[in-house]
Structure 1
Amino acid sequence: MAEDDFRDWERELHQDAQEEGGSGSRALVLVAAITAAGCVALIVLGDVPLGAAGLVVSSIILLLWRMGM
């Protein structure tokens, strides 16, 4: 009987993780696209160092976000 209870509990945890992963992935892609577009706009407008720095910093932030930190 204890095994069945554990399996039910484990199944509930996996369902929550799957539901959160779907919306989190879409948000991550949206934020990455907006950030990249802003940095490219800065580069096109002539502020290359600021645009490049923005791309580097945003890449680090998105990497840490993806890792769950």
Structure 2
Amino acid sequence: MPEDDFGLWERELEPGPPDEGASGGFGMVLVAGLTASGCTAMIALGEVPLGTAGLVLSSIILLLWRIGM
């Protein structure tokens, strides 16, 4: 017998056990740090528009990554 919709919906909202392979956001922090360092180096080397564009673009990507899109 199929389960009712409310049971499926309730199970989706219940937090399950945490994934053992979850990094806890360490990867995102590492990528953000490396990207910011690279863009800062570009600005220091005189490529201000390219470094600024990189910082803006990476900020948008990391924001979307953080919210799960």
Q: TM-score range by the shorter chain?
A: 0.7 to 0.9
2:52 corresponds to 1:52: yes
TM-score, normalised to structure 1's length? Answer: 0.72
TM-score, normalised to structure 2's length? Answer: 0.72
Partner amino acid, structure 2, of 1:14 = P
Per-residue deviation, residues 23-67 of structure 1 (Å, max 9, x unmatched): 141000000000000000000000000000000000000000000
Percent identity of equivalent pairs: 62
RMSD, aligned CA: 2.4
Unaligned 5+ segments in structure 2 are 1-13
Unaligned 5+ segments in structure 1 are 1-9
- Pick the structure with more helix per residue: 1
